Chains A and B, each alone.
Chain A
Amino acid sequence: MILLQLITDGLLLGAVYALFSSGLTLIWGMMNVINFAHGDFVMLAMYVAFFAFTLLKLGPAVFVPLAAIVLFGFGVLVYAGLVRYVMRGPMLAQIISTFGLALVMQYTALWVFSANFVSLPNTLVGGVYDVGGIRVSAARLLAGATALALTLGMHLLLTRTDLGSRMLAVSEDRVAAALVGIRPDPMQALAWGLGAASTGVAGALIALFFYVSPGVGDAFTLIAFVTVCLGGFGSVPGALLAGLAIGVIESLSAYWLGPAIKDIAVYGLFVAVLWVRPQGLLGRA
């Protein structure tokens, strides 16, 4: 029974990992740029949720979509103001620019929000369900279910709509995409907007049960990176599978090996998988 409990906890958290990681994989897939500030986007979304509640008294039904909208705009802004320019530069410039963005975001947060850990009241989405002996908190259930639905939604958007088809076309062959009449710029801005919006939703959901601080994003950047590598760069289903797997491994190893060791288990497995499949679980070679 404890095993089922741990797996359930892991899957619910893993779905949230999958959501913000699929944002990272979307951005990478569209323009081969790695967003090293991805976890800090999550951090920003968590603060949006926190202040929406404490200052404006808004509930999760409002602040989750609000965080998505704010982060969508922020993502487009980062693309238009930074990424579009460094993409013309060498690879190193691209890496350093988003890495620099991460630092700027963290220290700005430190300056504006202070280094204090803050959190939403854990009664905001209160209650615990007991399903056949497995205890699930309402907050985590809401987070997991929403994240799962939106990750699948992003996959459907990419594979079932003309807009998604155009985005994938740009990611596959920019020249051919231009030839059929697709302007790459709006598609790439959209990828940044959607990628950031995924961190918006994920961050606001995580804020329901996790503390917020300016440095909280680092852990999420690392998780997103491992999830995307494991699932295969550019693959949303891969990110979903890998996100869920990482959630479960974390949960199991935290219980059996201790919370301090759980990261070692995750990264150990990550290295082992890439040893066998360097392209990731669902990536193409």
Chain B
Amino acid sequence: MSGPLLRVSHLAVHYGDLVGVADVSFEVSEGAAVALLGSNGAGKTTTLNALAGLVRPAAGSIEWRGERIDGAPPHAVVGRGIALSPEGWRLFVMQSVEQNLRLGATPLADRSRLAPLLDRVFTLFPRLAERRRQLAGTLSGGERQMLAVGRALMSDPKLLMLDEPSLGLAPAVVDAMYETLAKLRAEGLTLLVAEQSMELALEIADTASVMQTGRTVLSGTAREIADSPVLHRAYLGAAL
């Protein structure tokens, strides 16, 4: 099997008359870490939501291992091994930490895989093990981020997508989260990270795409992107 794990081509998403994203293209190779960069409102969340099947693309295509998956419902997407840790975490706050994690394993037909996956998450995030019986609603922001990532990992995905894993968290917590992501990447997990904070994302990323007002304006290796003047203009919102 050749070609990238995930290929997004000329993706467009409309919300009624509003254009969520207009033209997004990028690729994710197996085992790579890819950063999706852009300022607030550039369309990163919309892109990830379209990949997860939460919104239906108006145009363009999403290919997973060479197969079209655009328009597939969310449960089918996560069943194929694409998990999203969403914006704002969206935890089940009325249920316990452990129940949240077990819910993450919903796509697994073989329930005997649940225990080892739970162990893996608790090893990555010992804090979650300490709080396994607590309601998710009682967790701190950093712990909620851990639980959102842990819940996504419970489906044993091939590709883990993270929407702004640093948003609203203390710097020390963010550093710890990125260390964990680096560890996951070293274990062979493919990552797609949407971030506003480019320094962080470019540290772990192999390649990156920069978005501005719903379009991909630049793609390349993390080094190329970091050195590009276009990136800074995209963040400052200047016309290209």
Tell me the A residues contacting B by CB distance below 8 Å: 162, 165-166, 168-169, 172-173, 175-183
Contact = CB atoms under 8 A, between A and B. Distances in A.
* 3 smallest beta-carbon distances between A and B, as pairs: A176-B90, A181-B107, A178-B74
Contact of A165 (B73, B83, B90, B99): B99
Given A175-B90, A176-B90, A181 B79 contact: yes
Nearest to B91: A176
B200 interface: no
Nearest to B111: A162
A263 B83 CA distance: 53
A165 B103 contact: yes
A169 B103 CA distance: 8
B94 A179 contact: no
B95 interface: yes
Contacts of B107: 180-181
Nearest to B99: A165
Given A165-B99, A177-B103, 17 more contacts: A165-B95, A166-B106, A169-B95, A172-B92, A173-B90, A175-B86, A176-B86, A176-B92, A179-B74, A180-B78, A180-B155, A181-B75, A181-B106, A181-B107, A181-B155, A182-B75, A182-B106
B75 A178 contact: yes
17 contacts: A165-B99, A168-B92, A172-B95, A175-B90, A176-B86, A176-B90, A178-B53, A178-B54, A179-B52, A179-B86, A180-B103, A180-B104, A180-B151, A180-B155, A181-B107, A181-B155, A182-B103
Contacts of B95: 165, 168-169, 172
Nearest to A165: B99
Interface of B: 52-54, 73-75, 78-79, 83-84, 86, 90-95, 99, 102-104, 106-107, 151, 155
Nearest to A284: B94
A247 to B, nearest CB: 28
Given A179-B54, A179-B78, A181-B74, A165 B102 contact: yes
Contacts of B54: 175, 178-179
Contacts of B155: 180-181
A175 B78 CA distance: 13
B93 A180 contact: no
Contacts of A166: 103, 106
Nearest to A160: B99
A165 B102 CA distance: 9
Contacts of A172: 92-95
A182 B99 CA distance: 14
Contacts of A178: 53-54, 73-75
A127 to B, nearest CB: 44
A181 B94 contact: no
B86 A162 contact: no
Nearest to B93: A172
A52 to B, nearest CB: 38
B26 to A, nearest CB: 21
B73 A179 contact: no
B233 to A, nearest CB: 34
B106 to A, nearest CB: 4
Contacts of B75: 178, 181-183
A172 B102 CA distance: 16
Contacts of A168: 92, 94-95
Nearest to A182: B106
A162 B74 contact: no
A173 to B, nearest CB: 6
A250 B91 CA distance: 41
Contacts of A165: 95, 99, 102-103
Contacts of A182: 75, 103, 106
Nearest to A183: B75
A173 B52 contact: no
Contacts of A181: 74-75, 78-79, 106-107, 155
